[in-house]
Each structure stands twice: as C-alpha cells, then as structure tokens.
Chains A and B, each alone.
Chain A
Amino acid sequence: MSNEIWVVADLTIDGKVRKATFEGLSEARRKLAVKLGGQLCGVLLGSGVSGLASELGKYGAEKVYVIDNELLKDYTPEGYSIALSELIKKHEPHIVITGNTSIGQDYFPRVAARVGAGLTLDAIDLDLTDDKRLKVRRYMYSAKSIATVEFLDHKPMMTTIRPNVFKPEEASKNPEVINESIDIKPERILTKTVEVKRKESTRPELTEADRIVSGGRGMASGDNFYLIFDLADAIGAAAGASRAAVDSGFVPYEMQVGQTGKVVSPTLYIAIAISGSVQHYAGMGSSRVIVAINKDQDAPIFQKCDYGIVADLFQLVPALTEEFKKLLAQQ
C-alpha cells in the first residue's frame, strides 16, 4: 500500500481536462496530501492524452500515470474499469478521486467492486481521520441533510466529488510522467458507442457554471425564455429551468435543475418566476448566493434567498440585463 492520492482526470467530449479535475487536485492537496504525508498524483486514461500531464502538474500533481490506449478513445465502462482497476492493483494508492460526472459515476462503482474498495459519490468535503481514513461529507435526502461518512478499513478509499464545490488553485509542479501499458483485450469491451452528438451552445454547462439564471412556470412560454438567455449571456451564465417550465414544454429537460434534474452549485443563482419548491431547492440549495425574482411576495423562495425583488419579470428582467451590461461595460 502506497501513500499516494490519485485524482483521475475527467475529460470533455473534446478531450479537454474538466475543471472538476483541477478542483479535485487542489482540494486533495490542501486537505489530504499534507495530513497523509502522501504524494499527489494525476491519472490520465484515454487515447493521445499524454500531452495533458503538464496541465495536471499545474494544479499540483507531482506524478502522472498515463494509460494511452487506442481502446480508450471512446469512453466505455469496460475499458475504463479494466484500465483503472489494473493500475490500482499494481500501485495500491491510498485514495482515488474523480469528478462526479456522467463518466465518473459510471465506472467508479465497477472499479470499486473489482479492487474491493469502499466508494462514496458526490462528496462536498474531503478530510482524513487521525488514523488516515477518508472522511467525506455529502448530501443525503435531496439536500435536506448532510451526512459525514467515514471509511472503515477497506482500501483503497474511493470517492467522486461534486463539481464546482472546491476551489481550483494552481501549484506549479513539473510532474514525473509514468507511461503504463495495461493489456486490454478488445473482446472484453462489449459496449459500442454508436454516436456522439455535441450540443452547440456558447453558454457554460450547468453543472460547471459559476453563474446560473433559471426560469420557472411564470415565464409563461418557451418564447419568453429569450429574457433568461439574454440575462445569462450578459453575465456569462448558464441557463436553467424549473421542472414546471420543462414539463410545460418551454425548454428541454437538460435544462432542469432540482431533485430530478441537475444538481448545481454556482456562486450566483438567479431564480426567475420560480416559487421555490423543496424539489427545486434540492438542486440549487448549495449555491453561494441565491437571487429570487417573483411577483408574489409570499412565494416560498423569498424565505430561502439572499436577495430578492418582488416584481413582474417582464418588466424587471430587461431592466436588470441592462444594468448588468452597463456595469460590466465599465470594466
């Protein structure tokens, strides 16, 4: 068993390193590496990914393991599980971390089962007990409670982390790059990727966005959502929606925030014509600053926000967009 802490890089469809990886490296360095007396390492899985090692170094990785294999070009649960579990068996790290993304959630359970590790998902806090067991905090019961979960003696200890919670912080290192070749038999990969469709959007992704503007049922139609998009674009935000807005057919499901939608934690969340149901709050309650705009002064959201304006959105939102534009133009 080594004292290494691994952060496995999460890549976008375009093969870029996701912010969640830098967040994981930064938090692991701040909260785990020193206490454990261990080395912080990055792991890259994919095809043609060696060049990304220096990016992991920029956020503190002292060593980067690279498995560069043609069979890892498209993500498949089999390929990634084999690659990572064999690597873990060989080097026996103490802790293994990745982002709680659609990919991380998909293969980490399989890897944990293969190497006999404990695994928690979607951690919002990382720490070590005095005897060096991993201790995480995570939401349970749709953000209505936070559990502190301590690992018992199973090793390695694995967790995924919620994107956008930890602060990325550069810590320039020139990492030692270790190329590993893991034998992956093509016949063991049963999943076939038929098609990958990219979403054409100039706005940030909801789960990674630093600012989000969301619209609810009170938007009254899909056409009116231009008000949300204009405001979002003025401040570089992602655009979201409540379930009522999605179910009414105003906007697609991928924009839904909440218990049965996306879980987000931006610095700034602006909820427009959203009443503030428990289910919506479950998806955005961990935002740092919540702003509510609603015409009903008794709307529950006014009991859960930092700033609010009681007003009709159709008058207020255009004015607000103008104010933001004016302010940001001055810079």
Chain B
Amino acid sequence: MKIVVIVRQTPDTEAKIKVASSGNSIDIEGIKWIVSPYDEFAIEEAIKIKEKLGTGEVILITMGPARCVEALRTGLAMGADSAIHIKDESFAFTDPYAIAKVIGQEIRGLGGFDLILTGKKMIDEETGQVGIHVAEDLGISHIAIVTKVELSSDKKKVTCQKEIEGGQVVAEVPLPALLTCEKGLNEPRYASLPGIMKAKKKPVKEVTPDNINVETLGLTKEALGQAGARFKVTKLEVPQVQRKLKVIKEAEVPEAAKELVKLLREEAKVI
C-alpha cells in the first residue's frame, strides 16, 4: 500500500500576525513554523494504516520555500518513509489550482499510489482547496473532513465517517482516493528521539522549478507564482474590533445577572 501525505508548513497558532510593508502579506520575521495541525492527523493516519497492515510505504510531499523541509523532517520522525520537497521561493502566492497541478504531477511520477491523505484545511490562508483540487487533477474520488477511516479487507475500498451540519454521513469510495482529515480522527504521536535520529537519514527528494514541465500541466511558467494566479491579495489587515469591555466586578450575583440582561436588552439590543 502506497500512501501519499500532502503536508504544509504554517505559522504557529500562537504566532502574532503582523502585516508586511507590502501591505498584502504577513511579515514572517520571527515566526515559528509548524506542520499544519490538520496535516498531522493525516500523517498519523497514514502511519497507523501502514502499521496495521504490517507493510506499505508513506511518502510526504510539500511545496514551498527551503524552510518547509522542517515540516517534512517532523513527519519523517513520526514514521513516514520518504519525502518530496517541491522547492522554490517564487512559489509564494501560487494559486491553489496551480499548486495542486504541480503536486499532482509529482504524485503521478510515483508510479502508482493507493491513498492520498491531507488536512481538511491549512490553518493559515485557510482556502481549503488544494486537497480536493489534487483529487480532481488525478481523476480520483475524495471524501473530505473525515473523522473515521476504514479500509476494506481487499484494500480496494475505503469507508469514512464525516460530520455534516445536523448529522453524520458514512461514505464509501474505491481506491485510489484522497481523504482530507479532521480533528478527532486520531491523536498524532510525538516523534521519539530514535525517530528523530532516523529521520535525518531518510531520503528527501528535491524538485526545483526546472524539473517542472509546466506545459504538460496545461499551465504557463507564470502560473507558478502571483503572475499566473487567478486572484491576488490586494490588502491584508489586522482586524480592529472595538469591544466595549464593560466588566461587572464585585457585584452580588442577582444584581450582576440583572444588570447584564438589562445591558443586552437596552444597550446591545440583542435580546
């Protein structure tokens, strides 16, 4: 069983976001980078499937600047076997559609695969499209936002549970397929010290823009980067919500409750 995990490096959730002087992207100075949390569920699930079957291969793939190799090393230390790094600084601002095409091309180059796992969305830009675009590009089925994954015994099908508004759905698709992972699917493991040591020796293949045959992807050279994107960010702002900050302290409980209800009715007009 060959399992591909698409991972992405994102700013730490605690990171303080500052707008860069360009006005349309973030200032990455001093930011701590992590593996996007939903992608950790994807890595964990891939390793679990391999462990359960007692055989198989887990390949990580990412696209982004040099720093992203750290995210790959984290996944390798958790237990993945090898990684592919599509590496270039100019990839910033490539739109999700083009990213998926490039990732799709690398996956095709693997000579077959059974399952692709990724996070339900990245926690930074949160456009939430890359995974499904990859499935579309490869012409395979997908199930998004899964909280339970079950492989059929003949390894030809996968059955997943997903949460939807007002309920739960169980769906089944034939392999190869792509799944996007939701919290609750599993508890990602921490890399062990031996795992970290071993990860250093695991192969990471680098792919540079020269290796990418844009024409066969139906893209132009410009499609990789802002010039070819279908949209652009013209402005990035840190939201300035003015909150009223009216805090009732040291009041007796019944009075505090009365006061709050009065404020919600008469001042905020929400009750």
Binding site for B on A (CB under 8 A): 12-13, 18, 77-78, 81, 101-103, 105-106, 109-110, 112-114, 117-122, 135, 138-152, 154, 190-199, 201, 205, 207-208, 211, 235, 253-254, 256, 259-261, 267-268, 278-279, 282, 285, 288-292, 297, 302-311, 315-316, 319-320, 322-324, 327-328
Contact = CB atoms under 8 A, between A and B. Distances in A.
B18 to A, nearest CB: 9
B257 A323 contact: yes
Contacts of B249: 297, 310
Contacts of B234: 135, 148-150
A77 B258 CA distance: 50
A283 to B, nearest CB: 12
Contacts of B251: 309, 311
User: Interface residues of B toward A: which range?
Assistant: 35 or more
A212 to B, nearest CB: 12
Chain B binding surface, main DSSP class: mixed
Contact of A319 (B232, B233, B246, B253): B253
Nearest to A243: B183
Contacts of B37: 260
A107 B164 CA distance: 14
A102 B235 contact: no
B153 interface: no
B260 A278 contact: no
Contacts of B258: 323
A121 B97 CA distance: 13
A309 B260 contact: yes
A307 B260 contact: yes
A147 B235 contact: yes
B246 A288 contact: no
A260 B13 CA distance: 10
A224 to B, nearest CB: 17
Given A279-B13, A289-B264, A311-B256, A192 B166 contact: no
Interface stretch (B59-67, B74-82, B110-118, B237-245): B237-245
Interface of B: 11, 13-17, 19, 24, 26, 37-38, 95-97, 100, 123-129, 132-133, 135-137, 141-145, 147, 159, 162-174, 183-184, 229-239, 241, 243-251, 253-254, 256-258, 260-261, 263-265, 268, 270-271
Looking at B95, B159, B164, the one whose CB has the most chain A CB atoms below 10 A away is B164
Nearest to B168: A197
Contact of A151 (B13, B144, B231, B261): B231
A324 B261 contact: yes
Contacts of A291: 260, 264
B99 to A, nearest CB: 12
A191 B173 contact: yes
3 closest Cβ pairs, A-B complex: A118-B230, A308-B247, A109-B132
B168 A193 contact: no
A253 B182 CA distance: 11
B254 to A, nearest CB: 5
Given A205-B165, A307-B260, A148 B229 contact: no
B69 to A, nearest CB: 22
Given A102-B144, A149-B231, 18 more contacts: A12-B166, A109-B96, A113-B97, A113-B133, A117-B230, A121-B127, A142-B126, A205-B166, A253-B183, A254-B163, A282-B13, A302-B245, A302-B247, A307-B260, A308-B247, A310-B248, A311-B253, A319-B253
Contact of B241 (A282, A285, A308, A324): A285
